[in-house]
Amino acid sequence: MGIVNVTPDSFSDGGLYLDADAAVAHARALALEGADILDVGGESTRPGAEPVPTEEELRRVLGVLERIAAEDWVPTRPTAPAPSADHAYSPHPPRPQISIDTSKAPVARAALAAGAGLVNDVSAFRADPEMAAVVAESGAECCLMHMLGEPRTMQREPRYEDVVDEVKAFLAERLAFAVSQGVSEQRVLLDPGIGLGKTVEHNLELLGRLDELLTLGRPIVIGTSRKSFLDRVGRHGDGPGASRSPRERLAGTVASNVMAFERGASVFRVHEVAPVRDALALAAATLDGRWTQRRTARIPRS
């Protein structure tokens, strides 16, 4: 899942793709690198982020979504593994699924009409009481994520008795709610929300015990890309090299995604697609070729 932030304030690339031309070009580049899903968002969920009015969020994403949907994609993905960054790519990448990253029902509704097929809701249908109905009525797929509170407050001393048990219970409850509202269980993905209302220790515990979430029976999405906890693991003090910019966290991003893959995650939300895909392909070669069995342009149905 390649990230397309159409925002001025995202923590790692805010403002870079606020222009529609830049956002569409970035989406195409991610698809060329092998993204199966393009996740377009117009509201940052970084810690401390302020809410964006519905009208502004729509203004940011709608034209971008329409243009991505109209791109000249190859209709099906080849069965061969994705090439590395050192290889030439087809000028016509396979058609990716389009995802809208929003917690607002009007934005989701407009995005689905514009060509999106997946609603990625960080609030897990809690922020807008109409969201579940929009997803159910459209037949779209959705991703439900765990987040403690809201972006403005989620990192204020987050506490859990057992973070894995509590995140698992939350996701089970939200899955049951979605199904009760008419969303097909087979169209739901679950995301433990790494970095959203969690300390470094919580994030590491979730990654280490990620396989415990597999009993929920749905594909697990993992989103560690460029997050600050990657920079803080194993780094101490305030001296030279004590912190790195988000773009300098690729090694941690790759390592955490490989770890998540080994523990059962099947969708990887990242800023840099090619290096993560290459790392996952190599990891899968040691795990009975699971990457080639899982890789699909749509959400797994089983």
Could you give the CA distance from residue 40 to residue 43 in angstroms, rounded to a whole number?
A: 10
Two structure tokens written together for 286: 């040691």
Give the Å distances, CA to CA, from 64 to 5, 38, 170, 184, 292: 11, 11, 33, 28, 31
Sheet holding 188-191, edge to edge: 2-5, 37-41, 97-101, 118-121, 141-145, 188-191
Residues 6+ positions from 87 with CB-CB distance below 8 Å: none
Q: Which residue reads 């990716």 in tokens? A: 96
3-state SS class at 34: coil
- 59 assigned to active site: no
Show Cβ contacts of residue 280 under 8 Å, excluding neighbours closer than 6 positions: 257, 258, 261, 268, 291
Smallest CA-to-CA distance from 285 within 266, 262, 268, 265 is with 262
Residues 168, 174, 226, 227: which is the catalytic one? 227
| Active-site residue, 269 included | yes
Taking the C-alpha atoms of residue 250 and residue 225, their distance in angstroms, rounded to an integer, is 8
Return the residue matching tokens 């249908």. 125
* Of 46, 104, 174, 269, catalytic: 269
- Return the structure tokens found at 125: 């249908």
Active site residues: 227, 269
